[in-house]
Amino acid sequence: SEYRAWRSMIDRCINKDHQSYDHYGERGIAVCDRWSDSFVSFYEDMGGKPTAKHSIDRIDNNGNYEPKNCKWSTMTEQSNNRRSNRLLTYNGITQTIAQWTREKGYQRKLITNRLINGWSVERAINQAVIKGGY
């Protein structure tokens, strides 16, 4: 499993025929020299996956695959690290809309709909849900 993650990481970055190359190699995302030629080095730095559900994740998704920028993450953690996420900061805490929604126990699109309707970030996150409405 770890070998497949290593091989896929390299392919995304160097193989122009890979289905995800445009999101990685074409964007300039590279694999560090230590890992690009050695699965053993990759495994020494990353260790084994905590569970079968974990995959390689870049902490800074604009950064390269290298020891200081990679970790094993769950699908939820991976989803929170997408470039397309909208981040909201409230009380000094920055999270995705999905993270705020889960934390508050809201339905999936509630905060997004509130923001679309012109609500402030503070109100969109904190306003109690009115039965049958926002």
Cβ atoms 76, 85 nearer than 8 A = no
The contacts of residue 66 (CB under 8 Å, 6+ apart) are 31, 32, 34, 35
Which residue shows structure tokens 């934390």? 103
> Which pLDDT score, from 0 to 100, does residue 36 have?
95
The two beta strands, 87-90 and 70-73, are: unpaired
Residues in the chain, pLDDT under 50: none
Would the pTM of this model clear 0.75, i.e. be above it?
no
Instruction: Please report the pLDDT score of residue 102 as a whole number.
Output: 85
What is the reported pLDDT for 134?
Answer: 61
pLDDT (0 to 100) of residue 84: 72
| Amino acid code (one letter) for 14 | I
